[in-house]
């Protein structure tokens, strides 16, 4: 196991609602990255946080936002959910950023109806 945990495991929401997904990084890891993985596809980078500040962002709209806390936990918030937001959401923690090895959690499966 990677030592990275995510909650909840599964979640069902309806279109237009808001959702918060949580991740607990390995202790001492200053960087967390979030990814969206649609069924049958590779993970798509959403954003990365390093020491509580955003350190990189992929091609996702502003309704995807995040927070990183000093206790190595983090959140992914998605507002105004759309059907296409249905996916597996993965977080990954690393000691630093750049090329440091990322350790992935098992993901949260979000279904938007």
Partner 1 sequence: GESVGLHLPTLSVQEGDNSIINCAYSNSASDYFIWYKQESGKGPQFIIDIRSNMDKRQGQRVTVLLNKTVKHLSLQIAATQPGDSAVYFCAEILNTGGFKTIFGAGTRLFVKA
CA-to-CA separations, 102 to 9, 22, 30, 79, in angstroms, rounded: 20, 17, 11, 26
Q: Among residues 14 and 47, whose Cβ is nearest to partner 1?
A: 47
- As measured in angstroms, the least distance from the Cβ of 86 to partner 1 is 17
Which two tokens mark 59? 């091609």
Site residues for partner 1, window 12-71 (CB under 8 A)?
33, 35, 40-45, 48, 54-59
φ, ψ for residue 85, nearest 5 deg: -80, -10
Site residues for partner 1, window 84-103 (CB under 8 A)?
90, 92, 97-99, 101-103
Q: Is the peptide bond before 72 cis (omega within 30 degrees of 0)?
A: no
- As measured in angstroms, the least distance from the Cβ of 33 to partner 1 is 7
Q: Which of 79, 93, 69 is nearest to 18 (CA)?
A: 79
Binding region for partner 1 (CB under 8 A): 2, 4, 33, 35, 40-45, 48, 54-59, 90, 92, 97-99, 101-107
């Amino acid at each position: 196991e990677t030592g990275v945990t995510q909650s909840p495991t599964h979640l069902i929401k309806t279109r237009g609602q808001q959702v918060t997904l949580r991740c607990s990084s390995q202790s001492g890891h200053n960087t967390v990255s979030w990814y969206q993985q649609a069924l049958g596809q590779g993970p798509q980078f959403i954003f990365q946080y390093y020491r509580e500040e955003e350190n990189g962002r992929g091609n996702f709209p502003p309704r995807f936002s995040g927070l990183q806390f000093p206790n190595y936990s983090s959140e992914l918030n998605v507002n105004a959910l759309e059907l296409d937001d249905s996916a597996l959401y993965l977080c990954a923690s690393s000691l630093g950023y750049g090329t440091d090895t990322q350790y992935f959690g098992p993901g949260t499966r979000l279904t938007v109806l």
